[in-house]
Structure 1
Amino acid sequence: MNGGRLVRLADLPLQPWKNGGGVTSELAIDPAGAGADSFRWRISLARIDADGPFSAFPGITRWITLIEGGGFTLDFADGHRLDVPQPFVPHRFDGGLAAFCRLKGGPSRDLNVMARAGLAMDVRVIAAGADAPPEGHALVRADGALVRLDATRLLQAVCR
């Protein structure tokens, strides 16, 4: 992922979640200017301050990666449970399922990647090389983003 535009994460504006239950900062969206119901893929940072419902995104595959805080559990309407206890591990799930979030130890921040079902999106944590964006930044390209997680790791999200 060479080229692209460097984005300072702290400069991203806050916007309400689709369900109004929290706030998120959109890092990248395809196509540019798409809304919550019309994007192909989207990458955002979210703050979870209290237990509550997650927004449902029918027809969307989601990956959620804890980046700060004590973690959380998602309880889905179909009885499935997703435990997110440690940072920097992407977890994939069906974004169309209703889910309730329970925090484990206070507020948390997470990185979300969402893609239309059937779209080939590769989401993984990789080692930061010499060409990695600096801490607190992301490199956004037409096909995805590299997000600096800490001194040694990046989250790579690429639409193939």
Structure 2
Amino acid sequence: MSSMIGGGRLVRLDALTPQRWKNGGGVTSEIACFPPGADWKNFDWRVSRAIIEKDGAFSVFPGMLRWILLLEGNGFTLSFADREKLHVTERFAVESFPGDGITHCTLNGGPSVVLNVIARADMLMRVNVTTSRAPLPSLGHALIAEAGVSVRLDEQTVLHAATGIR
């Protein structure tokens, strides 16, 4: 469910439709995608919430950059063929990695909930977490506009993913 707010849409995160991963290792709920209606093969950028339920491979996104942020759980380690491992264990810390390499995820004792941002490598995409007491988006919601998304993480913390074409 969403409503229009000053040129953007306010979306309830608990109203998103989860989709099971192809490899069965978790579920993803798309928060926003541009252009609207694009599928996983032809989007410019995408923001989603995922539950990683078991160890396994991440999907490969050629020509894309990825950012991931731990929301809940003990975190995980991402292993790559061509670079050092990435340990995702700090809540609300934004980590980034290329989308075109083979990536294997090993959970640290149970499922983890994350936010994912994926964007074309030729786009300028800024992903950061800030302290904000502004009323929008409210807890449990995302504010979606053509240039990006803001997701309320807790009462004081907001993830911003904003674009600008290079």
Calculate the TM-score normalised by the size of structure 1: 0.94
- The change in CA–CA distance for 1:125 and 1:104 in structure 2 (over 3 A counts) is same
Q: CA–CA distance in 1 between the matches of 2:139 and 2:104? A: 31
SS in 2 for 1:120: strand
SS in 2 for 1:106: coil
Q: CA–CA distance in 2 between the matches of 1:20 and 1:33? A: 24
Q: Identify the residue that residue 89 of structure 1 maps to in structure 2.
A: 93
Following superposition, the deviation at residue 19 of structure 1 comes to 4.5
Gaps of 5+ in 1: none
- The change in CA–CA distance for 1:2 and 1:91 in structure 2 (over 3 A counts) is farther
Map 1:144-155; keep pairs closer than 5 Å: 144-155=148-159
Match status 1:16 vs 2:20: yes
SS in 1 for 2:123: coil
* Letter of the 1:151 counterpart: E
Following superposition, the deviation at residue 16 of structure 1 comes to 2.6
Calculate the TM-score normalised by the size of structure 2: 0.91
Q: Identify the residue that residue 128 of structure 2 maps to in structure 1.
A: 124
Q: CA–CA distance in 1 between the matches of 2:21 and 2:102? A: 14
Tell me how many residue pairs correspond in the alignment: 160
Match status 1:105 vs 2:109: yes
CA contact (8 A) 2:76 2:106 kept: yes
- Give the percent of matched residue pairs that are identical in Structure 1 and Structure 2: 51
- The change in CA–CA distance for 1:145 and 1:111 in structure 2 (over 3 A counts) is same
- The change in CA–CA distance for 1:19 and 1:143 in structure 2 (over 3 A counts) is farther
What do residues 96-146 of structure 1 show as CA deviations (whole Å, max 9, x unaligned)?
111110111211000000000120000000112323211111101111110
SS in 2 for 1:46: strand
Map 1:1-150; keep pairs closer than 5 Å: 3-17=7-21, 19-150=23-154
Give the alignment's Cα RMSD to 1 decimal: 1.5
Q: CA–CA distance in 1 between the matches of 2:9 and 2:23? A: 30
- The change in CA–CA distance for 1:20 and 1:59 in structure 2 (over 3 A counts) is farther
- The change in CA–CA distance for 1:69 and 1:151 in structure 2 (over 3 A counts) is same
Gaps of 5+ in 2: none
